[in-house]
Amino acid sequence: MRFIAAEGVILEDILDATYPIWSEGLTREAYGTWNAAQLKTAWGRNHLRRFALVDDRGRWVAAAKRYLWPMRLDGADGIMCGVGAVFTRPEERGRGYGRAIVDRLVEHARGEGATVAGLFSEIGEPYYERLGFTTVPLDEVDVEVQRKGGAPAMLVRSGDARDLPALAALHAVRAQGVRFALRRDTSLIDYGLSKKRLLAGLGRGAGPRAERQTEFFVAEEGASAVAYVILTVTAGGWTLEEAGDRDPSAARLGAILQVLLAREPSRPAPLIRTWWPPAMPVPPQVRLTNRIPARDIFMLRPIEDVRIPTRAEDVFYWRSDYF
């Protein structure tokens, strides 16, 4: 079996095969465009790649995406080999190719400095436990915002590219002291935002499953962002993808949410779901309810001699960085 970067005809064939599972409601053409566009972002170009296992006849049998996520684990900067979209051709299943492609990705990433591998399982825990992965708990909660009679007197504006360094700085402060967190620099945040905006734009008109909007708002002091939110808005409600506040009370983040809800004062508040990192302060205007383990199962496997975090409190991870 050869292990190759999937490109050209092989990549198109893999996209045909994986489209029914991972289309997110997009048309086949838009699904291809969404994948290609991610690779054209500054971060995607250097950190994201799709690989395949190819048999002696030159036919691919299994494929997966590989991300190199900058992270910090127990005070040491490193890289997490992110594994996504693991797929074996239906007629080739049960022959160990799924395991083989994950192992090859991990070995390859070891050579690029990865000390841990991570994934989000859509097929439960047992399959990946057998491949050496352990579940890392993440909390999923509803965000209930206390609504005022009108919007708080605070300027909230659309976020843009010039705000990203401030977002990165807010993250660095909040994630400090937690055992495991991504190191989210400007280009990584930009990648996450672009990926969501592309998905929303490419899904327009493709049907109800693909209807979504990305919203990015900041509160500023002087000229720089001191609090922000990034949301995905669908008919089913809002997903708070990530947020930040320079102030440890997080009161400005709470006020941003109040301002956004005050845009439609007569409508019932939407359901707001998020993964709220336990180290992130909860704004005084907000109550977190219906806490459950995240439905997307996050799992890690050591590559080098590292300890995998076992409690939600040990992890600072936003829904934004789901892959």
Ligand X SMILES: CC(C)(COP(=O)(O)OP(=O)(O)OC[C@H]1O[C@@H](n2cnc3c(N)ncnc32)[C@H](O)[C@@H]1OP(=O)(O)O)[C@@H](O)C(=O)NCCC(=O)NCCS
Residues that bind ligand X (CB under 6 A): 21, 62, 86-88, 93-99, 121-124, 126-127
- Give the integer Cα–Cα distance in Å for 190 and 162: 11
Among residues 49, 105, 47, the alpha carbon closest in space to that of 301 is found at 105
DSSP character string of 116-174: EEEEEESS-SHHHHTTT-EE---EEEEEEEPPPSS--S--EEE--GGGHHHHHHHHHHH
Q: Which is nearer to ligand X, 89 or 183 (CB)?
A: 89
* Residue with smaller CB distance to ligand X, 19 or 127: 127
Rounded to a whole number of angstroms, the minimum distance from the CB of residue 133 to ligand X is: 11
Q: How far apart are CA 28 and CA 33, in angstroms?
A: 9
* CB closer to ligand X out of 102 and 143: 102
CB of 8: closest distance to ligand X in angstroms?
Answer: 21
User: In angstroms, what is the minimal distance from the CB of 120 to ligand X?
Assistant: 7
Which residue reads 């960085």 in tokens? 321
Kindly state the smallest distance separating residue 104's Cβ from ligand X, in Å.
12
Residue whose C-alpha is closest to residue 62's, from 93, 31, 23: 93
- Write out the two tokens for 301: 């496997």
Tell me how far apart the alpha carbons of residues 292 and 312 are, in angstroms, rounded to a whole number.
Answer: 11
Query: What is the closest distance, in whole angstroms, from the C-beta atom of residue 103 to ligand X in the complex?
Result: 9
Residue 85 or 168 having the CB closest to ligand X: 85
Shortest CB 295 distance to ligand X, Å:
13
In whole angstroms, the minimum distance from the beta carbon of 67 to ligand X comes to 14
- Residues in CB range of 191: below 8 A, 6 or more apart: 38, 41, 42, 43, 44, 47
Shorter beta-carbon distance to ligand X: residue 86 or 227:
86
Give the nearest residue (CB) to ligand X. 98
DSSP conformation class of 296: S
- Which of residues 131 and 154 has its CB atom nearest to ligand X in the complex? 131
Nearer to ligand X among residue 13 and residue 211 (C-beta): 13
What are the backbone angles phi and psi of residue 238, rounded to the nearest 5°?
-110, 145
